[in-house]
Amino acid sequence: MRRYPHKQNPAGRGFTLVEVMVVVVIIGMLAAILVPVLGGIIRRTNEAAVKVEINSMENAIADFKAKYGCDPPDHLHLFETAAGWRDLHGGPASRAKIRRIWPRFRFDIQRDFNRDGNFFDDPNEPNKNTMLSGAECLVFFLGGIANRDANGKFFMTGFSKNPLNPWKLPPTDANGNTIDESRDGPFFEFNPNRLVDVDLPTSATDPTGDGFPEFIDSLSNQTAPYLYLSSNGGRGYDEEAGWVYHHFQIPVNGVHNRNFPYRQSDNGPFWNAKSFQIISPGYGPHEKILSDGTITNEFCPYGINDVYDPENVD
């Protein structure tokens, strides 16, 4: 009987150190190429989400205008007492803006806007008032009257259908739960997780700001709100509206912050000259950081000049 020898399969050859290093280098090169690409895709996706949200707010303003006949104002002085509304500092102008929306609005009713149990009058400053910035007006007029849940988060309740007192809060039951009633708005559903109050405390015993929230976008590390600026129906933009409490025009490294409407070119026409602008501050954080690492609420870059170039944005 003839026997045939079995062929032995040679053992699998391992990788040499040089080959492993080549593979590692190739993987590193691919990562160096792909990471920025993926990062750019994620960034563009996030920015697209903000643009969609701004478009939704623009549609909400159109709904507001269809209801009330005008765009929301972008700054407003509010008084909790009847005497305050008669004050010449902001009173007449604010009354005119409110009556444009609610012609039968009663200014002789006391209103506790921030629900602190007191009216916002100071014995030494009897007509002290709350000023709503463009950022606050965006939320106030599209969302209605603000309230807080048990965890302190803001939620918007729309406006009462009572033409004499549209700023009346919705009724609540014995447990403080809101009772549903027919109301106007909200015209836009603000995400409660992104409603913030950037104003400094109204007093040493009230660390919660002025009670009128602003709305921040969904970009990472965002700390500054959307800015809303109105052209007043084409009559012209008012620089006062750009004021947001911690967004003064404070020079940082010799550059002043810009909170005003954008132009199409140097000294050229404004963008949306007949309507309004909604501006995202871009990626945060935006607070000024001091040399010792302290973070302050002083600086928010909505831009450093008046020109907005859609092809060159951060």
19-71 tens-digit pLDDT: 778 888 888 888 788 777 776 778 888 889 999 999 999 999 999 999 999 99
For residue 131, the model assigns a pLDDT of 82
Flag whether 63 is in a domain: yes
Flag whether 25 is in a domain: no
Q: What are the distances in angstroms from CA 314 to CA 2, 56, 180, 282, 311?
A: 83, 21, 43, 6, 10
Quick one: DSSP state of residue 258? -
Boundaries of domain holding 78: 39-279
Residue labelled with tokens 């109105």: 230
Q: How many domains does the chain have?
A: 1
* Average pLDDT over the chain, rounded to an integer: 79
For residue 251, the model assigns a pLDDT of 46
Q: What is the rounded average pLDDT of the residues 79-92?
A: 79
119 vs 270, more confident: 270
For residue 282, the model assigns a pLDDT of 85
Distance CA(218)–CA(297), nearest Å, equals 20
Flag whether 302 is in a domain: no
For residue 218, the model assigns a pLDDT of 94
* Residue 289 predicted with pLDDT over 70: no
Flag whether 290 is in a domain: no
* Residue 249 predicted with pLDDT over 50: no
Flag whether 14 is in a domain: no
Cis ω on the peptide bond leading into residue 310 (within 30° of 0)? no
The candidate with the shortest Cα–Cα distance to 260, out of 303, 298, 225, 223, is: 303
Give Dmax (Cα) for the chain.
Answer: 123
Q: What is the rounded average pLDDT of the residues 236-243?
A: 73
Flag whether 129 is in a domain: yes
